[in-house]
Chain A
Amino acid sequence: MTAELPPGLALQKVDERIMTLNVGPQHPGSGHMRIVVQIDGDYIVACDPDPGYVHRGEEKMAEYRNYITNIPHLERPVIHDSCNVLYPYVLGAEEILGIEVPERAKYVRVIASELNRCIYTQYWLAIYGIFLGHSTMFMWPAGDRELLIDLMEKMSGARVTHAHFVPGGVRNDLPANFEDACLRQVNYFEKRIKEYAAVFYDNPILISRTKDTGVLSKQDAIRLGTTGSVLRASGVDYDLRIKEPYDVYEELDVHTNVMKEGDSYARSKVPWLDMMESCNIIRQALQKMPKSGSVRTKLKPNPKTKGPETVYKRVESGRGSLGCYIVSDGKTEPYRVKMSVGSFRNLIALPYLLKGEKLGNMPSVYWSLNYWPVEADR
């Protein structure tokens, strides 16, 4: 064995007291990632997250396809939130290709993106429930999510991977009577998620497991550059739908939900409150949406760009700010596409939060970061 190891490998000292534990990548409590934790008895002394098991090379693939053919694969990192994942890319491509979007399409996008935010959050909440051994909280969100998936199926034709947003608008117009069905289902959905309080959020067992665990202070949340619900649970009032409104969010009345505690409980509650806000936004958008009109600016199959340009667009996704940096060199394919995703940005808080925590609290802290392994890897 040579003394010099290749980069990325390190020899570890063996300590009698400290035990190194690999959680994942096949462990149900880690998702598709590995968390290397060092424990002293029951307490975590160090944590090293090791993502990359579901790396798909989306950014490399995007360099080989033109602005339109990139759409179906760029939504793959978070299929439950596919509209929001695609949103910044589509906004950036519109600026590069110089396309205007019809007013009705902007409203359809807002409705689709808010529906997707709820669909994603329900899936995340279901997994959070089962992580904590709460089977009802797995069944309820997974079932109620179907209401909104049916709506997305009516809207786009696909249940999960919609590929509905295209530069210039959305792929199809809304079907007949969509507004009524949407209003009815969203109202019922809101009534349902309010019932989660009694079974989950006011449940003393959940409170005892998540209160005061993994506390992220406001200063550290800012310093670590966290985003989305993690940031808002630590008392920073920052939501891109308000701070940098895109499409028609400026004309809608959007409120943020902020909690000051910064513990796992607050981080698990903020997305739930956000879902109710999404229902409000959908109702407003349905009311204000123009009743007829075009939803898509026609594009050529291989659209020309205006010339070399760089764009950085960002939207508020289910996991926080999602930025897309596109470098165009004037060709029909982008020169470089970079997705700065919320999961990857929140991952940096994990080693920080787990240090000094009990091993049994790891799932509640880890999943409260609103982390989606596939999105972080891209």
Chain B
Amino acid sequence: MSEETEKPTPETTEKSVAKQEEVIELPALEKGLSEKLTSKFGEKTSIAFVKENRVRVDVKKEDVHDVAEFIRDEMNFDHVESVTGVDFPDDKEIEVVYHIGSYTDNSLANQVLTLATRAPREDIPIPGKDGTRLPTLRDIFYSVEFHEREVFEMLGVYFDGHPDNRRLLLPEDWADLPPLRKDFAIKGR
């Protein structure tokens, strides 16, 4: 890595552009993973980034189940490390991000495949009649069970087909907005 204190002359900017292209070509394994996904699903998936040890795939919510099944069966990923919900009130969407890893395939041990999908966000969630819905991945990756329950209570994303859509951390009688939504404000902040 060169020092970035050089003055921005036209020559150095050209060099830095060339360097960026080199950096993108570096991770061969990661590139192979992303190409495998795009060759199978084509337009349905969009590769958000390919970094060292990290590949991120964005899919529509209709395709997330098929893509996850392909990731498990054909790409040797076997467990989900983390399921994160991210609220985007400006886009009127909630993003759910699965970080998928592999224990069985040693060549993938340092890889984390990020599968992200988005669900439409209703402004006022009504408990029991949730409008923000996503298909569950619990039948593909057993390990998402508690993670999806956490996303359900914290962001109000109902996972269709999840066998146990109950609250996990919050009290049973919680009657406010899902707390990790952006419009739930901390007092005094």
- Measured CA separation A74–B160 after assembly (Å): 32
- Measured CA separation A223–B139 after assembly (Å): 11
Are the CB atoms of B97 and A222 closer together than 8 Å? no
Contacts of B81 in A (CB 8 A): 225, 227, 314, 321, 323, 340, 345
A312, CB-defined interface residue at 8 Å: yes
Partner of A336, one of B78, B86, B168, B170: B86
A348, CB-defined interface residue at 8 Å: yes
Partner of A223, one of B87, B109, B110, B143: B143
Contact residues of B between 132 and 166, Cβ < 8 Å to A? 141-143, 145-147, 150, 165-166
Residue pairs across A and B with Cβ atoms less than 8 A apart, 23 shown, are A7-B167, A8-B167, A10-B166, A57-B179, A57-B186, A59-B180, A223-B143, A225-B79, A225-B142, A227-B81, A231-B103, A244-B53, A244-B110, A312-B54, A312-B82, A314-B81, A323-B112, A325-B97, A325-B99, A340-B99, A344-B147, A345-B81, A345-B143
Contacts of B86 in A (CB 8 A): 327, 335-336
The residue of chain B having its C-beta at the shortest distance from the C-beta of A244 within the complex is B110
Contacts of A222 in B (CB 8 A): 78-79, 103-104
Are the CB atoms of B84 and A325 closer together than 8 Å? yes
B127, CB-defined interface residue at 8 Å: yes
Q: Kindly state the interface size class of chain A when it binds its partner.
A: 35 or more
Are the CB atoms of B171 and A52 closer together than 8 Å? yes
Are the CB atoms of B78 and A7 closer together than 8 Å? no
Are the CB atoms of B168 and A51 closer together than 8 Å? yes
Contact residues of A between 228 and 271, Cβ < 8 Å to B? 231, 236, 238, 243-244
Are the CB atoms of A6 and B169 closer together than 8 Å? no
A64-B186, A223-B142, A347-B146 known, 9 other contacts, Cβ within 8 Å: A6-B172, A50-B168, A52-B169, A52-B170, A225-B142, A312-B114, A323-B81, A323-B99, A344-B146
Partner of A8, one of B53, B109, B166: B166
Are the CB atoms of A223 and B79 closer together than 8 Å? yes
B128, CB-defined interface residue at 8 Å: yes
Are the CB atoms of B109 and A55 closer together than 8 Å? no
Binary contact track A1-17/B, C-beta < 8 Å → 1, others 0? 00010111110000000
- Measured CA separation A52–B174 after assembly (Å): 12
